[in-house]
Amino acid sequence: MKPFAFALAIGLATAPIVPASAADITGAGATFPFPVYSKWAETYRKETGTGLNYQSIGSGGGIKQIQARTVDFGATDAPLKGEALEKDGLVQFPTVMGGVVAVVNVPNVRTGEVKLTGELLAEIYQGKIRKWSDPKIAKLNEGVKLPDAAITPVYRSDASGTTNIFTTYLSDVSADWKKELGAATAVSWPAGQGGKGNEGVTAVVKQVPNAIGYVEYAYAKQNNLPVALIQNKAGKFPMPGDESFQAAAANADWKSAPGFGIALTNQAGEKAWPITAATFILVPKTPNDPARAAEVLKFFSWAYKSGDKLASDLDYVPLPDAVVGLVQDEWKKVTGKDGKPVLGM
């Protein structure tokens, strides 16, 4: 049995870290999908003997490593545009969908008890709303006892696809945010405290009273952090989870952008979670080692076929079967020097 190694996220089930063998698949990048990639890898190793060494270092780091060809695949929540994929000779495809949620550390407040709009979130992260007792928050949360305490916004200190998703949403709902800060994997935060990775933001929110942060939903659940409800485009406040993530993706046109790089934020629908997104894998179009590239595609082929329940158990949403078919067609672009696909479909 080949060894399996991965970096452990705060609050996730621990396992011994074993040095990876040269035959193991290597990947690096987004922390957003880390829980599901870890679970898939653990199961895949048991079934096939092939290990996965995945470094949860943030989308920016994953993009840099695959550009430098120091890993077999990169992972990003901020999809690359067509010109970047062409320039770097990469093929991009989605794996699962999930949601970014606002987690809070407010005394005696549980999941679903605090409601926020996108505009309020933007003003909190701009430093314009500074206290939980602000009249704008109080008006939306009548009957909820919120403290007259300073809010500490917690953000990602590293280049992050989760930040790209979050700031894309804020740009969708706030003209001021779009003008002043925009959407990117890193922005110049006007207020608050940083944490590295979804893991780091989770840890800071847990440690700092009256903090608010944005993380992938699995991190909130694993760490029992209260989640605020966010008003969607239809004016409703859905609970985050499979149903609301699926609702956001219900009408998505996956063919509309190169590498399936569509945005699922602020979608229409009464049940739609407003900060929903897909997460993506990057592989070289002409890999230096075609055999290793084939192993990467075999792993994700297995994940599409056998990993749906594992993903759902961690509150990710599997891709629709039709999208999986489109992805596997895209894999034919990953070829050896002879021009033949590395993975026979």
Give yes or no for residue 339 having a pLDDT over 80.
yes
> 153 and 70 share a domain?
no
Q: What is the mean pLDDT of the chain?
A: 91
Considering the domain architecture, whether residues 220 and 327 belong to the same structural domain is answered as no
Q: What is the mean pLDDT of residues 314-318?
A: 91
Q: What is the pLDDT of residue 19?
A: 45
Residues 220 and 257 placed together within one structural domain of the fold: yes
Region 152-160: mean pLDDT is 95
Same structural domain for residues 323 and 211? no
* Domain, as residue range, for 30: 5-96+279-333
Same domain for 123 and 62, yes or no, is no
- Which residue from 173, 129, 122 is spatially nearest to 150, judged by alpha carbons? 129
Q: What is the reported pLDDT for 166?
A: 97
pLDDT at 22: 56
Whether the CB-CB separation of 210 and 150 falls below 8 Å is answered with: yes
Residue 15, pLDDT score: 37
Residue 252's pLDDT is 85
266 domain residue, yes or no? yes
Same-domain pairing of 235 and 318: no
Q: Are 28 and 62 in contact (CB under 8 A)?
A: yes
Domain co-membership, 234 together with 306: no
Looking at the 3D structure of the chain, how many domains does it have? 2
Domain boundary pick from 227, 242, 275: 275
Q: How far is CA 337 from CA 11, 288, 297, 342, in A?
A: 43, 9, 17, 10
Q: How far apart are CA 90 and CA 66, in angstroms?
A: 9
Is 173 domain-assigned? yes
Q: Among 2-11, 54-63, 82-91, 153-162, whose mean pLDDT is lowest?
A: 2-11
pLDDT of residue 326: 94
Domain holding 210: CATH number?
3.40.190.10
Q: pLDDT band at residue 18, thresholds of 50, 70 and 90? A: very low
The string of DSSP letters for 262-280 reads --EET-SSTT--SEEEEEE
pLDDT in tens, 168-213: 999 999 999 999 999 999 999 999 999 999 999 999 999 999 999 9
188 domain-assigned: yes
Query: Does 180 share its domain with 305?
Result: no
134 and 264 share a domain? yes
